[in-house]
Structure 1
Amino acid sequence: LYTRAANASKDEMKTIAELFGAHHRAAAQSLTGLLGRKAPTARNEKFYAAQSAKAGEGSAKELAAHMASLENALVATHINVLSQLRGIDGASLVASIIPIEARQAAVLVQMSGSSSLDDIMALDAEASIDPETYPA
Structure 2
Amino acid sequence: MSVTALICLVVAISDGDTLTARCGNTGTVQQVKVRIAAIDAPESKQAFGVRSKENLSRLCFRQQATLQPLDRDDYGRTVAKVRCAGRDVAAAQVSAGLAWVYTPYAKKHPQLVPLQERAQADRMGLWSQKRPQAPWTYRHRHSQR
Both proteins in one fold, TM over 0.5: no
Q: TM bucket by the smaller chain?
A: 0.3 to 0.5
Which one scores higher on RCO, CA 8 angstroms, separation ≥ 6? 1
TM-score, length of structure 1 as denominator length: 0.33
TM-score, length of structure 2 as denominator length: 0.31
